[in-house]
């Protein structure tokens, strides 16, 4: 029994990062900002921090931080200029990110992974530090009220769609 106990101790204590302590659910409304909280006091220096959503492609990520700077290549357009470190750096084990101007499409499960400085394994071999299920619901309806005789401005939007046909498409039958 003793040899098994020492192996288990090595696996738990010797692993490069700690595993997830459970899935947290955060519910917010579209248009709001949210902090995806993540803290591990055992992490002092971070070589690489990655936040990912489980439905993204293998080479895509929500947020990637390397050598003290955000790394933007591989970040889908839908996340560009919307995801930032909470404190502009990983300090005191705070790995939290802010996701701004939420969209319903942002709903999903987010996981953070870390490579500590000096670690000799790949990021894919690490266990998630934090796992968060984000639920983005539609915004509350805006209530507009007025007294009889008052003017009101109703919010609206216009979408102008321009269709462009080539000459071949327009006169395709004549060219045959």
Question: Could you give the number of structural domains in the chain?
Answer: 1
Question: Does any domain span residue 144?
Answer: no
CATH of the domain at 99: 2.60.40.10
Q: Which domain holds residue 31?
A: 18-137
Please report which confidence band the pLDDT of residue 153 belongs to, taking 50, 70 and 90 as the band edges: confident
Question: Does any domain span residue 65?
Answer: yes
d(CA 65, CA 54): 18
Question: Does any domain span residue 90?
Answer: yes
Question: Does any domain span residue 29?
Answer: yes
Question: Does any domain span residue 96?
Answer: yes
pLDDT, tens only, 71-116: 888 899 999 999 999 987 777 889 999 999 999 999 999 999 988 7
pLDDT, tens only, 132-150: 999 999 998 888 888 888 8
What pLDDT, on a 0 to 100 scale, did the predictor assign at position 84?
Answer: 93
φ, ψ for residue 52, nearest 5 deg: -135, 160
Question: Does any domain span residue 10?
Answer: no
């Amino acid at each position: 029994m003793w040899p098994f106990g020492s192996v288990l101790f090595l696996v738990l204590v010797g692993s490069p990062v700690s595993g997830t302590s459970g899935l947290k659910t955060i519910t917010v409304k579209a248009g709001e900002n949210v902090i995806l909280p993540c803290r591990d006091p055992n992490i002092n220096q971070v070589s690489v921090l990655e936040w990912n959503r489980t439905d993204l492609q293998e080479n895509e990520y929500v947020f990637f931080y390397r050598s003290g700077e955000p790394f933007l290549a591989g970040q889908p357009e839908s996340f560009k200029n919307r995801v930032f470190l909470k404190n502009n750096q990983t300090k005191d084990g705070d790995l939290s990110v802010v996701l701004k101007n939420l969209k319903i499409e942002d709903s999903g499960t987010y996981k953070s992974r870390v490579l500590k400085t000096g670690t000799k394994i790949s990021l894919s071999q690490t266990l998630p530090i934090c796992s968060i299920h984000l639920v983005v619901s539609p915004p509350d309806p805006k209530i507009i009220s007025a007294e009889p005789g008052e003017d009101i401005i109703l919010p609206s939007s216009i979408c102008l769609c321009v269709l462009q046909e080539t000459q071949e498409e327009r006169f395709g039958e004549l060219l045959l």
